[in-house]
Amino acid sequence: MATLYSLAESNVRKTWFLITFFLIFIIGLGWLFSYLLGSYIILIVAVIFSVTTSFISYWHSDKIVLSMTHAQPVEKKDNPELYRIVENLCITAGLPMPGIFVIPEIQPNAFATGRDEKHAAVIVTQGLLNKLERTELEGVIAHELSHVKNRDILLDTVVVILVGLVALLSHFFIRISFWGGTSRRNSRDGGLGVIILIIGILAAILAPIAAQLIKLAISRKREFLSDASGALLTRYPEGLARALEKISQDSTPLRTASPSTAHLFIASPFRGKEKTSWLTKMFMTHPPVEERVKALRGMQV
């Protein structure tokens, strides 16, 4: 039977395998587009633009997300119990105290944001505070603190940069192809050039989809890892398992949810829309709750 430590190590290995594959994928795509266009200038510009915009987003993403979700700051005097839960878990995890925020919505849910351990925030909905018992709330908070401890926010930023770069490269290639930017190379290479051009256009169309699938796969792996790390932090996997069941069974919509922030939450905020077919699972931001609960209840601490 898997232990929390072995499951966490397994998820870390799988995640970095996906990251490595992602980097190789981008390098190959960049080489193909550069070859067909006969110039590396566009590739260099695309990289600089993508990294610059993602760098700016990295430094200000927490403020943007807090504003988008209408999260309100909470001090110790406002909710002493919530503050003590976060404080105790931070001491156990060796983390500095993050900012605490509450979203005034009745759907039970939560997420963490911030660029590093010293600039982190834990956000919960009012519904989560109303509907969970203390041990269940501890499990959720521990899960979110594990995202901070495991540097998932940094990893998410790297993946966003890579996905953005793929989309940008594909867009540039398709636009230039229609402008005739590859015609000279095609005429020089003859039939082989035409075949490579067709492959390049197909790659430009399919690459953003493939990149998004890889991004979602990494997101799902990180959820499993944070489940394991959070359960290790509380030493009580059943608390988080029960919390996930309650969260998933609540059909209340989250009015402030959007596709751009959905992956941040501990469970999908779009309730009643999840399906279990293999194709749908590929495009899910979170693993099915049933699988997460099963993994938690099969762990040893």
The 10s digit of each residue's pLDDT in 6-53 is: 655 665 676 677 667 777 777 777 777 777 767 677 667 666 766 676
Taking alpha carbons only, the member of 117, 113, 114, 110 closest to residue 137 is 110
Taking alpha carbons only, the member of 152, 224, 301, 217 closest to residue 8 is 224
Active site residue 81: no
Strand partners, 3: 300
Phi and psi torsions of 160, nearest 5°: -60, -40
Give the separation between CA 34 and CA 182, rounded to whole angstroms: 10
Q: What pTM did the predictor assign?
A: 0.76
Taking alpha carbons only, the member of 68, 73, 85, 228 closest to residue 147 is 228
* DSSP H stretches of helix in 75-125: 80-93
- Where b means 16+ CB within 10 Å and e means fewer, 253-277 reads ebebbeeebbbbbbbbbebeeeeee
Number of separate domains in the chain: 1
Question: Structural domain of residue 204, as residue ranges?
Answer: 1-301
Q: What is the pLDDT of residue 281?
A: 54
Average pLDDT over residues 110-121: 89
Pairing of strands 72-73, 99-103: antiparallel
**Residue 68 pLDDT > 60:** yes
Model confidence band, residue 208 (pLDDT cutoffs 50, 70, 90): confident
Which one from 105, 136, 138, 144 is the annotated catalytic residue? 144
